Amino acid sequence: RVEVKNLNSLKQIIQSAEFEALRQTSLAIEGTPTGRETRTFDPKTGLTVKIRNKTGAVDYRFMPEPDLPPVILDKYVLDKDTLTEFLEQLPELPEEATTRLMNTYFISEASALIIISDRPAINFYGKAVATCRRELGQGDDDDDCMKKVSVAISNWLCNDLFALIKE
């Protein structure tokens, strides 16, 4: 664990974090342990400098917060029997939705990012593609037609429909 002190701005926080990431990565590659220490950031050089070693957690003053009770995730809190069941009901993460839209519907990352920016639009887009394919009589194995329909609908959704909604 490394603690960096005397950071006076957001810029210094970013610079010190970047430097420490590189420094600790190079130490890990060399097989040298980082150790527990306190460092300070020198804004003139952009480097962190070791101030002192820390020997234990006591030096870092890690203590439980007495006013915060422990969080117990049981079936009454989760409204499910297991944590896995609870996690399965959570909505899709933006990164996962972007990847799924790109891989399933063959649309660009830019279009996928626009669609996922509005959560209901994700479901709307999927239903619109399915409806168009059903109306056109396309089979599930026709990737070329899927691509054409999917791209056309994403263009309509991202360019035309979202523009009308903003007006």
pLDDT tens readout for residues 20-47: 999 998 888 888 888 888 899 998 998 9
pTM attached to this predicted model: 0.52
Q: How far apart are CA 150 and CA 162, in angstroms?
A: 16
How many CB atoms within 10 Å of residue 2?
Answer: 15
Angstrom distance (rounded) from CA 87 to CA 84: 5
d(C-alpha 32, C-alpha 34), whole Å: 6
First to last CA, the chain: 52
Q: Are 4 and 20 in contact (CB under 8 A)?
A: yes
pLDDT tens per residue, range 65-116: 677 787 787 888 888 777 788 888 888 899 999 999 999 999 999 999 999 9
